[in-house]
Amino acid sequence: MKKKEDAEITNISNVSIPAFGYGLIRDELLEDLLGKDGPDILYWAGKRLARKYPLFSMEEVKEFFLNAGWGVLEIKEEKKDEKLFSLSGSSVSYRLQTNTNPSFQLEAGFLAEQFVQQKKVYAECYEHPRKQSGIVNFTVKWDRLPLE
């Protein structure tokens, strides 16, 4: 059994959530309910959440990720029409270790839509789980042309 502190997700308000319970919902129950379309549905659900919780800066996005228990989001690389992020933390590494194919599409959809809202461009986000390092990388790409 892992140490107690490794088995809990803690957000900035110091409320602990058992990682096992969170994983049951995220990686077991939702997978069963949504079936093979689960990742696509979660991506669009993430976009919907982003519309419900509009944020105005990347600092606010990072804070949202912490408060949601999704992990620590960091910008790793920036290009003119693309950003690379990493997501780390106990919740991320726990899900990567305990699930054979965890989906981070909810987070990807949320990131993509935040770029749509903040930059007024079309954007997509791709997840790249790194099981051995216990992190997930996200690539957000956007069109240079603004939304009409």
Report CA Rg, the chain.
15
Positive or negative: CA dihedral 31, 9, 127, 45: positive
- Predicted local confidence at residue 65, as pLDDT: 96
- The pLDDT, as a whole number, for residue 14 is 57
The answer to whether 49 touches 105, Cβ cutoff 8 Å, is: no
CATH number of the domain where residue 121 is located: 3.30.1380.20
What would the pLDDT profile of 122-145 be if each residue is shown by its tens digit?
999 999 999 999 999 999 999 977
- Say how many domains are in the chain: 1
Enumerate residue ranges in the chain where pLDDT < 50.
1-12
| Token pair for 88 | 């780390």
Give the span between the Cα atoms of 90 and 137, in whole angstroms: 15
| Per-residue pLDDT at 47 | 98
Instruction: Check: CB of residue 117 under 8 Å from CB of residue 56.
Output: no
pTM: 0.85
Quick check: 31 and 39 in contact, CB under 8 A?
no
The pLDDT, as a whole number, for residue 1 is 35
Per-residue model confidence (pLDDT) at position 21:
78
Structural domain of residue 130, as residue ranges? 4-146
